[in-house]
């Protein structure tokens, strides 16, 4: 079997792991501890964590988690439920997935949603695979440079195997260069175009006409959006996109040092057979009662094998449940309100920071949502600003360069929080 | 004069001169069960003999479809888009694609009705 994979030894299979990360010696684990000793050991480590005032975003946002959600999620019927392959014993699971799908389809303005993906980056990679599998013989994918760097890296990882060529559309003044996009598209062989909304800088780009331009070259338009913003911004469907995908963490999921999060993937009806992952459908049972089942399973890799669009055969069940609870609890109005409060907080913060005279917006003429790129004015540096704020218990943003940071705000940031951040920056005036 | 030929992978081609209608056999339709979807090519697509030109899905399985001869697609059966079950009702009438046969001599490499029936009988163990 090693030979079949083109390897000689088992170690050859790990060729992609950098040497610096490989295990050279056995693990040095401490001696066993009793339960109380163990509890104390971890409590001591955990007590070193600091709770910071969060103005960092870059794709993941500190929105409020309504208490009802973890309370309901912890119910063992939900927490320990397995894959709903047997509909006769899984109606609860199938129903919440169906409701999640329905709400995501509505938010994205598209026809179909699947049962979820692992996270926003892999959902975007799967959208890329869908495009290549839907548009015959075309293997180029154009990605806007204003798509988050981490997402671009995951796209590159997924493109390597099937031999897909990814080309980055350059940006100009914080937004995607439309002229460059049209020229790159015109060169032919493009299966899909991936853009973000809002983009990595928090800017709401004008994608008017992009869908038509893509379609006239027989390419698909894929929009990567933070799920929460779908409750206030124009939907991907309204922009004419064929596929919408992205990170759903912003639906009140705790930041949790990086996860678990949730990827969503939605598309127009004509692409349903290319959609990877699980799909739940509504039907009637033998007695005519409404019931739910996993459907269109012949798409999936356990049946389609190497012809399937993807090898995914799972979904992020527990976080899908979180998303379903969050959306049902908040409703369209609540979601809109979260966005309004976040938008207002970000704009108030941007104004307060600029008023210090120490900072200026990097793209002052571009509309931003609840996140913005801001520059430090010399002699202040990004690192000095971040360090000073950290001392005051503030996570001021994500470093973009020596002299710029990406700053976000949500409904969790009060006027007092914003004032504290601005004061801290002002205090750096030497 | 139309004559029917079969490939060992259970596709048929009803050929008349250089025009042919390609579909799946009665035997295949029965094995597959209720067809839920047919992934069809587009007009002007070209395929070599034995090249995969599409796929057919039932509730439990998905099978690739292979071109019986070198051909160019003239037309696909749009009725199958809305009603794939037509294949189960009458597989020999519910053709999938109408093609132009590049080299009619390749038909000689396929099985005629008698040979195919014998082939199917031997396949069932």
Tens-digit pLDDT profile for residues A25-49: 999 998 999 999 999 999 999 999 9
**Alpha-helical runs (H) found in B1-125:** 26-32, 79-82, 86-89, 113-123
CB contact under 8 A, B62 and A304: yes
Residue A132 burial (C-beta neighbours within 10 Å; 0-12, 13-18, 19+)? buried
Contacts of B42 in chain A (CB under 8 A): 136
The Cα of A412 is separated from the nearest Cα of chain B by a number of Å equal to 48
The Cα of B2 is separated from the nearest Cα of chain A by a number of Å equal to 32
CB contact under 8 A, A307 and B62: yes
A68 upstream amide cis, omega within 30 of 0: no
Q: What is the pLDDT of residue B125?
A: 54
CB contact under 8 A, A307 and B55: yes
Q: What is the pLDDT of residue A217?
A: 94
Residue in B closest to A295 by C-alpha: B59
Q: What is the pLDDT of residue A273?
A: 87
Q: Residue B120: inside a domain, yes or no?
A: no
For residue B59, pLDDT beyond 60: yes
Dihedrals φ, ψ of A167, to 5°? -125, 140
| Mean pLDDT along residues B30-39 | 92
Report whether A127 contacts A243 (CB < 8 A): yes
For residue A12, pLDDT beyond 60: yes
Q: Residue B118: inside a domain, yes or no?
A: no
| Mean pLDDT along residues B87-101 | 96
CATH code, domain carrying B44: 2.40.50.100
Q: Residue B112: inside a domain, yes or no?
A: no
Mean pLDDT of chain A: 94
ipTM score of the complex?
0.71
Q: pTM (2 decimals)?
A: 0.89
Residue in B closest to A301 by C-alpha: B62
Residue B55's H or E segment, with its range, is: strand B52-58
How many domains are contained in chain B? 1
For residue B119, pLDDT beyond 70: yes
For residue A228, pLDDT beyond 60: yes
For residue A430, pLDDT beyond 80: no
For residue A90, pLDDT beyond 70: yes
Asked which of A198-202, A426-430, B27-31, B44-48 is least confident by mean pLDDT, the reply is A426-430
- Model confidence at A296, in pLDDT bands (50, 70, 90)? confident
A-to-B residue pairs, Cβ atoms closer than 8 angstroms = 18
| Mean pLDDT along residues B73-97 | 95
Residue in B closest to A300 by C-alpha: B62
| Termini Cα distance of chain B | 35
Between these two residues, A136 and A115, which has the higher pLDDT value? A115
Contacts of A300 in chain B (CB under 8 A): none
Contacts of B64 in chain A (CB under 8 A): 307
3-state secondary structure of A279: coil
Q: What is the pLDDT of residue A398?
A: 97
The Cα of A303 is separated from the nearest Cα of chain B by a number of Å equal to 6
CB contact under 8 A, A298 and B59: yes
Q: Which domain holds residue B23?
A: 3-104
Residue in B closest to A305 by C-alpha: B62
Strand pairing category for A220-224 and A190-196: parallel
Contacts of B61 in chain A (CB under 8 A): 298, 303
Of B42, B61, B64, the CB nearest to A298: B61
Ordered structural domains, chain A, with CATH: 53-63+331-426 (3.90.1150.10), 68-325 (3.40.640.10)
Q: How does DSSP classify residue A428?
A: T
| Mean pLDDT along residues A303-327 | 85
The Cα of B37 is separated from the nearest Cα of chain A by a number of Å equal to 9
Sheet holding A243-247, edge to edge: A112-113, A263-267, A243-247, A220-224, A190-196, A140-144, A165-169
Residue in A closest to B39 by C-alpha: A273
The Cα of B42 is separated from the nearest Cα of chain A by a number of Å equal to 10
For residue A386, pLDDT beyond 80: yes
* Rounded percentage of chain B residues whose pLDDT exceeds 90: 85
For residue A303, pLDDT beyond 80: no
The Cα of A190 is separated from the nearest Cα of chain B by a number of Å equal to 18
Residue A134 to residues A131, A155, A180, A253: CA-CA distances in angstroms?
5, 17, 24, 33
- Model confidence at A417, in pLDDT bands (50, 70, 90)? very high
Q: What confidence tens digit (pLDDT) does each residue in A268-290 have?
A: 999 998 899 999 999 999 999 99
Dihedrals φ, ψ of A179, to 5°? -65, -45
| Mean pLDDT along residues B84-112 | 95
Q: Residue B121: inside a domain, yes or no?
A: no
Q: What is the pLDDT of residue A314?
A: 78
Angle at which helices A415-426 and A317-355 pack, to 10 degrees?
A: 50
Contacts of A307 in chain B (CB under 8 A): 55, 62, 64
CB contact under 8 A, B37 and A307: no
């Amino acid at each position: 079997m090693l030979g079949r994979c083109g390897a000689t030894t088992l170690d050859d299979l790990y060729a992609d792991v950098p040497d610096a990360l490989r295990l050279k010696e056995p693990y040095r684990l401490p001696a066993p501890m009793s339960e109380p000793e163990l509890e104390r050991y971890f409590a001591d480590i955990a007590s070193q964590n600091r709770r910071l005032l969060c103005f960092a975003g870059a794709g993941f946002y500190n929105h409020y988690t309504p208490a009802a959600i973890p309370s309901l999620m912890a119910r063992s019927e939900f927490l320990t439920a397995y894959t709903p392959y047997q509909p006769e014993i899984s109606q609860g699971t199938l129903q919440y997935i169906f409701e999640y799908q329905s709400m995501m389809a509505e938010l994205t303005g598209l026809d179909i949603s699947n049962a979820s993906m692992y996270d926003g980056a892999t959902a975007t990679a799967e959208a890329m695979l869908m495009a290549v599998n839907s548009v015959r013989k075309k293997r180029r994918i154009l990605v806007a440079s204003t798509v988050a760097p981490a997402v671009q890296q995951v796209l590159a990882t997924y493109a390597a195997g099937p031999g897909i060529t990814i080309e980055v559309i350059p940006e100009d003044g914080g937004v995607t260069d439309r002229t460059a996009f049209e020229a790159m598209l015109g060169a032919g062989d493009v299966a899909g175009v991936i853009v973000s909304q809002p983009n990595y800088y928090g800017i709401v780009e004008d994608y008017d006409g992009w869908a038509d331009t893509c379609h006239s070259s027989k390419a698909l338009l894929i929009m990567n959006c933070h799920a929460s913003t779908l409750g206030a911004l124009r939907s991907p469907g309204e922009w004419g996109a064929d596929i919408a995908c992205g990170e759903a963490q912003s639906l009140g999921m705790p930041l949790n040092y990086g996860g678990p999060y949730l990827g969503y993937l939605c598309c127009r009806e004509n692409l349903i057979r290319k959609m990877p992952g699980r799909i739940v459908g509504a039907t009637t049972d033998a007695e005519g009662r409404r019931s739910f089942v996993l459907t269109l399973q012949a798409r999936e890799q356990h049946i389609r094998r190497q012809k399937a669009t993807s090898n995914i055969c799972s979904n992020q069940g527990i976080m899908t449940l979180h998303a379903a609870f969050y959306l049902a609890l908040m409703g369209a109005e609540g979601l809109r309100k979260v966005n309004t409060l976040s938008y207002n907080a970000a704009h108030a913060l941007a104004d307060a920071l600029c008023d210090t005279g120490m900072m200026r917006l990097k793209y002052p003429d571009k509309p931003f949502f609840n996140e913005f790129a801001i520059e430090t004015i010399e002699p202040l540096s990004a690192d000095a600003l971040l360090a000073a704020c950290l001392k005051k218990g503030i996570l001021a943003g994500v470093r973009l360069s020596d002299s710029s940071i990406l700053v976000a705000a949500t409904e969790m940031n009060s006027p007092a929080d914003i004032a504290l951040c601005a004061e801290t920056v002002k205090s750096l005036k030497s | 004069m139309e004559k029917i030929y079969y490939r060992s992978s259970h596709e048929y081609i009803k050929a008349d001169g250089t025009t042919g209608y390609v579909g799946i056999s009665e035997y295949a339709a029965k094995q597959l069960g209720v067809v839920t979807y047919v992934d069809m090519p587009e007009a002007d697509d070209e395929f070599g003999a034995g090249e995969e030109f599409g796929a057919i899905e039932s509730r439990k399985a998905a099978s690739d479809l292979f071109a019986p001869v070198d051909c160019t697609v003239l037309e696909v059966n749009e009725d199958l888009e809305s009603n794939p079950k037509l294949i189960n009702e009458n597989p020999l009438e519910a053709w999938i694609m109408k093609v132009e046969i590049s080299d009619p001599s390749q038909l000689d490499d396929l099985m005629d009705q008698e040979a195919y029936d014998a082939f199917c009988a031997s396949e069932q163990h």
